[in-house]
Amino acid sequence: MSDRGTHTYASLHVGPAGGPRDEVVAIEEPMEVRVNGSPFAVIMRTPGADRDLAAGFLLAEDVVHGVHEIGLIEHCQDADQEGRDNVINVTVTGAAVDRLESRLAGRRQVMMTASCGLCGRRTIESLRSRVSSVAGDWTVPASVIASLPSTLRRAQRVFETTGGLHAAGLFDLDGTLLLAAEDVGRHNAVDKITGRMLLERKLPLSRAMLQVSGRTSFELVQKALLAGIPLIASVSAPSSLAIDLATDSGITLCGFVRGATFNVYAHPERVG
Protein backbone atom coordinates (compact mmCIF):
# COMPACT_ATOMS: atom_id res chain seq x y z
CA MET A 1 0.00 0.00 0.00
CA SER A 2 1.31 3.48 -0.82
CA ASP A 3 0.48 7.09 -1.51
CA ARG A 4 2.73 9.69 -3.12
CA GLY A 5 4.73 10.22 0.08
CA THR A 6 4.89 6.85 1.83
CA HIS A 7 4.88 3.13 1.17
CA THR A 8 4.16 0.26 3.54
CA TYR A 9 6.69 -2.57 3.67
CA ALA A 10 6.72 -5.85 5.53
CA SER A 11 9.53 -6.05 8.10
CA LEU A 12 10.82 -8.25 10.86
CA HIS A 13 11.03 -6.50 14.22
CA VAL A 14 13.81 -7.77 16.48
CA GLY A 15 13.37 -7.34 20.22
CA PRO A 16 11.34 -8.56 23.20
CA ALA A 17 8.09 -8.15 21.26
CA GLY A 18 9.65 -9.16 17.97
CA GLY A 19 7.99 -10.60 14.92
CA PRO A 20 6.63 -9.62 11.52
CA ARG A 21 5.01 -6.21 11.21
CA ASP A 22 4.29 -3.57 8.62
CA GLU A 23 6.33 -0.36 8.56
CA VAL A 24 5.44 2.88 6.81
CA VAL A 25 8.51 4.20 4.94
CA ALA A 26 9.12 7.57 3.28
CA ILE A 27 9.33 7.33 -0.51
CA GLU A 28 12.44 8.46 -2.34
CA GLU A 29 12.10 8.80 -6.12
CA PRO A 30 14.05 10.59 -8.84
CA MET A 31 12.50 13.68 -10.39
CA GLU A 32 13.94 14.78 -13.72
CA VAL A 33 13.83 18.55 -14.12
CA ARG A 34 13.73 19.76 -17.71
CA VAL A 35 14.00 23.45 -18.55
CA ASN A 36 12.54 24.58 -21.87
CA GLY A 37 12.48 20.91 -22.82
CA SER A 38 16.18 20.24 -22.13
CA PRO A 39 17.25 17.86 -19.33
CA PHE A 40 18.77 19.92 -16.51
CA ALA A 41 19.05 17.78 -13.37
CA VAL A 42 17.75 14.71 -11.60
CA ILE A 43 16.79 15.31 -7.97
CA MET A 44 16.20 12.49 -5.51
CA ARG A 45 13.15 13.66 -3.56
CA THR A 46 9.96 12.70 -1.76
CA PRO A 47 7.04 13.16 -4.19
CA GLY A 48 4.77 16.10 -3.44
CA ALA A 49 4.99 19.86 -4.08
CA ASP A 50 6.99 19.07 -7.23
CA ARG A 51 6.20 22.42 -8.89
CA ASP A 52 7.40 24.28 -5.79
CA LEU A 53 10.54 22.15 -5.62
CA ALA A 54 11.37 22.78 -9.28
CA ALA A 55 10.87 26.54 -8.92
CA GLY A 56 12.93 26.75 -5.73
CA PHE A 57 15.67 24.61 -7.24
CA LEU A 58 15.97 26.84 -10.31
CA LEU A 59 16.08 29.92 -8.09
CA ALA A 60 18.95 28.40 -6.13
CA GLU A 61 20.68 27.32 -9.34
CA ASP A 62 20.59 30.94 -10.58
CA VAL A 63 18.52 30.09 -13.64
CA VAL A 64 15.57 32.29 -12.61
CA HIS A 65 15.66 35.50 -10.59
CA GLY A 66 11.92 35.97 -10.20
CA VAL A 67 8.51 34.54 -10.99
CA HIS A 68 8.27 36.88 -14.01
CA GLU A 69 10.82 34.59 -15.73
CA ILE A 70 8.75 31.44 -15.18
CA GLY A 71 6.04 30.34 -17.60
CA LEU A 72 4.47 26.91 -17.32
CA ILE A 73 5.57 24.23 -14.84
CA GLU A 74 4.03 20.93 -15.80
CA HIS A 75 4.61 17.20 -15.71
CA CYS A 76 5.80 15.95 -19.08
CA GLN A 77 3.17 14.03 -20.99
CA ASP A 78 5.77 12.61 -23.38
CA ALA A 79 7.40 10.61 -20.58
CA ASP A 80 6.50 6.94 -20.35
CA GLN A 81 3.54 6.04 -18.17
CA GLU A 82 5.71 4.81 -15.28
CA GLY A 83 7.84 7.96 -15.15
CA ARG A 84 5.25 10.57 -16.05
CA ASP A 85 4.80 11.78 -12.46
CA ASN A 86 8.58 12.06 -12.08
CA VAL A 87 9.45 14.25 -15.07
CA ILE A 88 8.66 17.95 -14.89
CA ASN A 89 9.35 20.72 -17.39
CA VAL A 90 9.76 24.38 -16.51
CA THR A 91 9.38 26.99 -19.23
CA VAL A 92 11.56 30.03 -18.58
CA THR A 93 11.49 33.33 -20.42
CA GLY A 94 13.41 36.59 -20.75
CA ALA A 95 16.93 36.77 -19.35
CA ALA A 96 16.50 33.31 -17.82
CA VAL A 97 16.85 31.80 -21.31
CA ASP A 98 20.40 33.13 -21.59
CA ARG A 99 21.21 32.00 -18.05
CA LEU A 100 19.89 28.55 -18.88
CA GLU A 101 22.19 28.26 -21.87
CA SER A 102 25.13 29.32 -19.71
CA ARG A 103 24.28 26.80 -16.97
CA LEU A 104 23.79 23.97 -19.45
CA ALA A 105 27.11 24.75 -21.10
CA GLY A 106 28.99 24.86 -17.82
CA ARG A 107 27.66 21.84 -15.97
CA ARG A 108 27.94 18.09 -16.21
CA GLN A 109 24.73 16.10 -16.21
CA VAL A 110 24.85 14.45 -12.80
CA MET A 111 22.52 12.69 -10.42
CA MET A 112 21.81 14.98 -7.46
CA THR A 113 21.18 13.02 -4.29
CA ALA A 114 18.69 14.25 -1.70
CA SER A 115 21.54 15.39 0.55
CA CYS A 116 23.44 17.27 -2.11
CA GLY A 117 22.12 20.78 -2.63
CA LEU A 118 24.57 22.64 -4.86
CA CYS A 119 27.50 20.54 -3.67
CA GLY A 120 29.85 23.51 -3.34
CA ARG A 121 29.77 24.60 -6.99
CA ARG A 122 29.06 28.21 -6.11
CA THR A 123 31.35 30.24 -3.91
CA ILE A 124 30.57 33.06 -1.52
CA GLU A 125 32.21 35.50 -3.93
CA SER A 126 29.93 34.57 -6.81
CA LEU A 127 26.90 34.95 -4.58
CA ARG A 128 27.91 38.50 -3.70
CA SER A 129 27.59 39.48 -7.35
CA ARG A 130 23.88 38.71 -7.24
CA VAL A 131 22.60 39.14 -3.67
CA SER A 132 25.00 40.82 -1.29
CA SER A 133 22.91 40.82 1.89
CA VAL A 134 19.46 40.47 3.41
CA ALA A 135 17.25 43.21 4.85
CA GLY A 136 15.69 42.77 8.27
CA ASP A 137 15.93 45.50 10.87
CA TRP A 138 14.06 43.71 13.63
CA THR A 139 14.55 41.63 16.75
CA VAL A 140 12.79 38.51 17.95
CA PRO A 141 12.66 37.16 21.52
CA ALA A 142 14.91 34.19 22.24
CA SER A 143 11.85 32.32 23.51
CA VAL A 144 10.27 32.51 20.04
CA ILE A 145 13.33 31.00 18.38
CA ALA A 146 13.42 28.27 21.02
CA SER A 147 9.80 27.37 20.20
CA LEU A 148 10.34 26.84 16.47
CA PRO A 149 11.51 23.18 16.47
CA SER A 150 8.55 21.91 18.49
CA THR A 151 6.09 23.86 16.35
CA LEU A 152 7.63 22.46 13.18
CA ARG A 153 7.71 18.96 14.63
CA ARG A 154 3.95 19.02 15.18
CA ALA A 155 3.47 19.84 11.49
CA GLN A 156 5.57 16.90 10.24
CA ARG A 157 2.75 14.59 9.23
CA VAL A 158 4.82 12.11 7.21
CA PHE A 159 7.70 12.08 9.71
CA GLU A 160 5.19 11.11 12.38
CA THR A 161 4.44 7.89 10.53
CA THR A 162 7.85 7.13 9.01
CA GLY A 163 10.55 8.81 11.12
CA GLY A 164 12.48 9.19 7.88
CA LEU A 165 12.09 12.74 6.58
CA HIS A 166 13.72 16.13 7.03
CA ALA A 167 11.61 19.24 7.40
CA ALA A 168 11.77 22.99 6.90
CA GLY A 169 9.37 25.58 8.26
CA LEU A 170 8.79 29.23 7.42
CA PHE A 171 7.73 31.33 10.41
CA ASP A 172 6.64 34.90 11.01
CA LEU A 173 8.28 36.98 13.75
CA ASP A 174 5.71 35.86 16.31
CA GLY A 175 6.69 32.22 15.79
CA THR A 176 3.57 31.34 13.79
CA LEU A 177 4.19 28.63 11.22
CA LEU A 178 3.40 29.95 7.74
CA LEU A 179 4.46 26.97 5.62
CA ALA A 180 6.10 23.60 6.23
CA ALA A 181 7.64 21.07 3.86
CA GLU A 182 8.99 17.55 4.29
CA ASP A 183 11.42 15.63 2.11
CA VAL A 184 14.15 13.01 2.27
CA GLY A 185 16.54 15.89 1.60
CA ARG A 186 16.94 19.00 3.76
CA HIS A 187 17.78 21.05 0.67
CA ASN A 188 14.64 19.87 -1.11
CA ALA A 189 12.43 20.81 1.84
CA VAL A 190 13.82 24.35 1.75
CA ASP A 191 13.46 24.53 -2.04
CA LYS A 192 9.80 23.55 -1.71
CA ILE A 193 9.25 26.50 0.62
CA THR A 194 11.21 29.08 -1.36
CA GLY A 195 9.65 27.81 -4.58
CA ARG A 196 6.13 28.22 -3.22
CA MET A 197 6.90 31.74 -2.05
CA LEU A 198 8.49 32.54 -5.43
CA LEU A 199 5.42 31.36 -7.32
CA GLU A 200 3.16 33.35 -4.97
CA ARG A 201 5.26 36.48 -5.60
CA LYS A 202 6.17 36.83 -1.91
CA LEU A 203 9.95 37.14 -2.20
CA PRO A 204 11.98 38.59 -0.56
CA LEU A 205 10.90 37.22 2.84
CA SER A 206 12.45 40.00 4.91
CA ARG A 207 10.12 39.47 7.90
CA ALA A 208 10.34 35.70 8.13
CA MET A 209 12.47 33.02 9.79
CA LEU A 210 13.48 29.58 8.54
CA GLN A 211 13.75 26.53 10.81
CA VAL A 212 15.34 23.34 9.46
CA SER A 213 15.97 19.87 10.76
CA GLY A 214 19.49 18.48 10.88
CA ARG A 215 22.61 20.56 10.42
CA THR A 216 22.93 23.87 8.56
CA SER A 217 25.19 23.72 5.53
CA PHE A 218 26.44 26.45 3.22
CA GLU A 219 23.75 25.54 0.69
CA LEU A 220 20.90 26.08 3.17
CA VAL A 221 22.19 29.52 4.16
CA GLN A 222 22.57 30.28 0.46
CA LYS A 223 18.93 29.39 -0.18
CA ALA A 224 17.87 31.64 2.70
CA LEU A 225 19.95 34.47 1.24
CA LEU A 226 18.43 34.13 -2.23
CA ALA A 227 14.94 34.16 -0.68
CA GLY A 228 15.79 37.19 1.49
CA ILE A 229 15.25 35.36 4.80
CA PRO A 230 17.20 37.14 7.60
CA LEU A 231 17.25 34.32 10.18
CA ILE A 232 17.83 30.58 9.86
CA ALA A 233 17.83 28.15 12.77
CA SER A 234 18.44 24.44 13.09
CA VAL A 235 18.40 21.73 15.72
CA SER A 236 22.00 20.78 14.97
CA ALA A 237 25.34 22.40 14.12
CA PRO A 238 26.26 24.71 11.25
CA SER A 239 29.29 24.18 9.06
CA SER A 240 32.16 26.67 8.96
CA LEU A 241 31.22 27.84 5.47
CA ALA A 242 27.61 28.33 6.56
CA ILE A 243 28.82 30.62 9.34
CA ASP A 244 31.07 32.52 6.94
CA LEU A 245 28.25 33.10 4.44
CA ALA A 246 25.77 34.11 7.15
CA THR A 247 28.29 36.57 8.61
CA ASP A 248 29.05 38.11 5.22
CA SER A 249 25.42 38.37 4.11
CA GLY A 250 23.78 39.67 7.29
CA ILE A 251 21.89 36.49 8.17
CA THR A 252 21.33 35.55 11.81
CA LEU A 253 22.40 31.92 12.14
CA CYS A 254 21.22 29.85 15.13
CA GLY A 255 22.21 26.28 15.86
CA PHE A 256 21.56 23.56 18.43
CA VAL A 257 18.07 24.96 19.04
CA ARG A 258 16.96 22.44 21.63
CA GLY A 259 14.71 23.12 24.58
CA ALA A 260 15.30 26.61 25.91
CA THR A 261 18.89 26.94 24.69
CA PHE A 262 20.67 27.59 21.41
CA ASN A 263 23.82 29.15 19.95
CA VAL A 264 23.93 32.24 17.72
CA TYR A 265 26.85 32.06 15.28
CA ALA A 266 26.23 35.20 13.22
CA HIS A 267 24.42 38.51 13.69
CA PRO A 268 23.08 38.06 17.23
CA GLU A 269 21.61 41.57 17.16
CA ARG A 270 18.30 40.16 15.89
CA VAL A 271 17.89 38.01 19.01
CA GLY A 272 16.26 40.00 21.82
Instruction: Give me the half-sphere count of Cα atoms (radius 13 Å) on the Cβ side of residue 227.
Output: 34
Q: Going by C-beta distance under 8 Å and a sequence separation of 6 or more, which residues neighbour residue 82?
A: none
Spatial separation of the C-alpha atoms in residues 40 and 74, rounded to whole Å: 15
Helix (H, G, I), strand (E, B) or coil at 203: coil
Q: Of 124, 137, 128, 143, which Cα lies nearest the Cα of 245?
A: 124
Cite the active site residues.
116
Q: Which residues pair with 233 in a beta bridge?
A: 211, 254
Whose CA is closest to 270, among 144, 127, 107? Answer: 144
- Measured between alpha carbons, how far is 251 from 227 in angstroms, rounded to an integer? 11
Which residues are CB-neighbours of 143 under 8 A, at least 6 positions away? 260
Looking at residue 97, its amino acid is: V
Contacts of 76 (CB under 8 A, 6+ apart): 34, 84, 87, 88, 89
